[in-house]
Chain A
Amino acid sequence: GESVGLHLPTLSVQEGDNSIINCAYSNSASDYFIWYKQESGKGPQFIIDIRSNMDKRQGQRVTVLLNKTVKHLSLQIAATQPGDSAVYFCAERGSNDYKLSFGAGTTVTVRA
């Protein structure tokens, strides 16, 4: 994935508000997309994924939206909490591909 146009490298959010993190990807052949969360000093942690035959998938407090027409992926976090402060990466992979392509990441800071 790449971070072009809609991508913001940093996002400051008031605790309790909803967060939206955007990611643009470049490979139209990509058919599997993942969001990772990386806390300071830790490795990336899987949050949620979505296949290209879907446009929305929900998890616990998180929703991923996929717009294949404009090659755009977003992560929505409901009722953002201090523990959500981290760097968030999108990643994409083509079918039968062993490799992931990562975006540059968005740093989310939650204000109390």
Chain B
Amino acid sequence: NAGVTQTPKFQVLKTGQSMTLQCAQDMNHNSMYWYRQDPGMGLRLIYYSASEGTTDKGEVPNGYNVSRLNKREFSLRLESAAPSQTSVYFCASFTGALSNQPQHFGDGTRLSIL
């Protein structure tokens, strides 16, 4: 079972470069999420998509954009990378708000901005 798949697993960028992180889920989930995790901190929500065709800002959206390409795929874009965006990025998916089900996570993209 693939679950939530993120690509790439690792990436190094220079300040100012752009980058798109890809995420796909095969669980037919309606909702998808992007988080960042910094050392010693919990997960902070960047953007989410409650359902196909909708996206909303989370706690830390500045410097990011997202696209819900279809029900399976949700991408995160850094238009002009900054060192403060060095982090581990996790994608997650979830059945939907009316269901008491957990979010399922990918294994992350480790991004370094030099």
Contacts and interface: CB of A to CB of B under 8 A. Distances in A.
B97 interface: yes
Interface in A32-49: 32, 34, 36, 41-46, 49
Interface stretch (A62-70, A71-79, A91-99): A91-99
Interface in A80-112: 89, 91, 96-100, 102-105
Contacts of A98: 31, 48, 50, 94, 97
A96 B97 contact: yes
- A-B pairs, top 6 by smallest CB distance, nearest first, are A43-B105, A102-B42, A46-B102, A43-B107, A102-B43, A98-B50
Interface in B59-114: 90, 92, 94, 97-98, 100, 102-108
B27 interface: no
A51 interface: yes
A98 B4 CA distance: 18
A98 B40 CA distance: 25
Interface of B: 4, 31, 33, 40-43, 45, 48, 50, 58, 90, 92, 94, 97-98, 100, 102-108
Contact of A51 (B31, B45, B100): B100
10 contacts: A9-B40, A36-B102, A43-B107, A43-B108, A96-B97, A97-B97, A98-B31, A98-B48, A102-B42, A102-B43
Contacts, number: 50
A100 B103 contact: yes
Q: Is the interface of B mostly helix, strand, loop or mixed?
A: loop
A34 B41 contact: no
A99 B100 CA distance: 12
Residue among B4, B43, B58, B108 having the largest count of chain A Cβ atoms under 10 Å: B43
Given A41-B107, A96-B97, A98-B31, A34 B102 contact: yes
A89 B50 contact: no
Contact of B45 (A42, A46, A99, A105): A99
Given A32-B100, A96-B97, A44 B31 contact: no
A41 B51 CA distance: 29
